[in-house]
Amino acid sequence: MKEILLLKDGEIVLKGLNRRQFEDVLKKNIKIALHSLGRFEITSAQSTISVRPLDDGIDLDEASERVSRVFGIVSFSRAALCEEKSMESVLATAPVYLEKQLRAAKTFKVEAKRSDKKFPLKSPEICRELGGVILSKYPHLKVDVHHPDVTVYVEIRDFGAYVHADSLRGAGGIPVGTGGKAVILISGGIDSPVAAYMMAKRGLRLTAVHFASPPYTSRRAEEKVVRLLQKVSRYAGPMTMYTVPFTKLQEKLRDDCPEELFTIIMRRLMMEISQRIARDNDCAALITGESLGQVASQTIGALNCTDEAADMVVFRPLIGMDKQEIIDISYKIDTYETSIEPYEDCCTVFTPKHPRTKPVLKFVKEAQQRAGFEPLIEEAMQNLKVTPIYPEA
Ligand code: ATP
Ligand code: MG
């Protein structure tokens, strides 16, 4: 039996004139997500995208999994394509294809949609006929039109007739790439991978920036960030990661700035450098995993000082979330176990004993200027390491 995936697109329905463009991006993202599984034909009509495998033996379980992580899809189902667009073919296909679900259920109903108005039977007739056949094959079943255990869907479309059971929930959001591009500041922690996921969900294509301070931070710490991004990229799509050599800047910070301002100036340097990388990569925003009040560098005062270092808008999708809420999402996107592996982050190198929770911007800027970081920033920009990131298989 030939199977296809049927996807309903979500918020993009609301976008009126942009709809075509949104749908094209969505189809391209689906294509990229499925690429390594074989060839597929991806077409759209009447707010449904159909994904039809073109090769034999394609793993549709894995294809469904991958599709469930593509933003812009509200729901999806796996359906059997009837051999012909005829009532006989529907009657022959549905009870066999949905046998497992029908055997497990006590009640069911049939819902029919007929967008091909040339089909000889009207929707209520399709429901009645198929309902009768299912009842005679599975006599334990009863019809319940209000709260059925299983709904059998029949759709008669221009390109064929197909049947499927209840659909599954898609990833929601809007297609990655339709909202522009942004830089995610990614550490090896729990928060920033979640922030990346959340902003990709709002349609942003991501470029990742990671600050590393060898030998204070290890090669393994950087590899951990690569693995985290590979997981994020199952949702956000392929991306580029830039590793910034941060050691000299941090050493200068330690040697030439007041200790209680280490953290805040370090965060400002991260913003400045990330913004330069953003500009070079056509990105118009920065994203961080900061959450209000979580640590000393995430108070209102500290965030005001950090913000001032960048002209671009800074998205902090976790700002109002509790740690547990963030952890729940990290479980869902499967980054949690990797995030808690214990490696040093550059943030934990040279941490002051008493960081300023209410830094005064004027003094922070003066201290930063006195130290004179510009030559080292330029040097770091000349020595960025580029790592291409693809979704973890
Ligand atoms: P996370 O769990 O994401 O590390 P955190 O709660 O540990 O966050 P901080 O260490 O203060 O908080 O970092 C705040 C934000 O700064 C991070 O969410 C991330 O966006 C960015 N950041 C921190 N360290 C790095 C780094 N080494 N490279 C790039 N960005 C970083
Ligand atoms: Mg951290």
Any atom of ligand 1 within 6 Å of the Cβ of 191: yes
Distance from Cα 102 to the centre of ligand 2, integer Å: 50
More confident residue, 296 or 8: 8
User: What is the pLDDT confidence band of residue 336, given thresholds at 50, 70 and 90?
Assistant: very high
Q: Near ion ligand 2, which residues have CB within 5 Å? A: 187, 189, 345, 347
Q: Which residues contact 156 (CB under 8 A, 6 or more apart)?
A: 85, 112, 113, 114, 115, 116, 119, 126
Q: Among 32-46, 268-282, 335-349, 361-375, whose mean pLDDT is lowest? A: 335-349
Q: For the chain, what percent of residues have pLDDT higher than 90?
A: 83
Pocket perturbation via mutation, ligand 1, pick of 192, 264, 306, 327 by most ligand atoms within 8 A of CB: 192
Distance from Cα 303 to the centre of ligand 2, integer Å: 15
What mean pLDDT is predicted for residues 263-277? 96
What number of helices (H) and strands (E) belong to the chain? 14, 15
Any atom of ligand 1 within 6 Å of the Cβ of 211: yes
pLDDT at 159 over 90: no
- Atom 10 (ligand 1) nearest CA: 347
Task: Write down the CATH number for the domain with range 180-389.
Answer: 3.40.50.620
Q: What is the pLDDT of residue 330?
A: 98
Q: Are 277 and 183 contacting, i.e. CB atoms less than 8 angstroms apart?
A: yes
pLDDT at 14 over 60: no
Instruction: Give 377-383 contacts, CB < 8 A, sequence gap 24+.
Output: 377/249, 377/269, 377/272, 377/273, 377/276, 379/248, 380/244, 380/245, 380/246, 380/248, 380/249, 380/273, 381/273, 381/276, 381/277, 383/245
Over residues 185-217, the pLDDT tens digits come to 999 999 999 999 999 999 999 999 999 999 999
Q: What is the pLDDT of residue 157?
A: 87
* pTM of the predicted protein model: 0.93
User: What is the pLDDT confidence band of residue 12, given thresholds at 50, 70 and 90?
Assistant: low
Q: What is the pLDDT of residue 103?
A: 97
For 2-171, the fitting CATH number among 3.40.50.720, 3.30.2130.30, 3.40.50.1100, 3.40.50.880 is 3.30.2130.30
Over residues 337-364, the pLDDT tens digits come to 999 999 888 777 777 777 777 888 999 9
Q: Among 166-170, 296-300, 314-318, whose mean pLDDT is lowest? A: 296-300
pLDDT at 15 over 60: no
Q: Are 306 and 365 contacting, i.e. CB atoms less than 8 angstroms apart?
A: no
Query: Domain ranges in the chain?
Result: 2-171, 180-389
Over residues 52-108, the pLDDT tens digits come to 999 999 999 999 999 999 999 999 999 999 999 999 999 999 999 999 999 999 999
User: What is the pLDDT confidence band of residue 1, given thresholds at 50, 70 and 90?
Assistant: confident
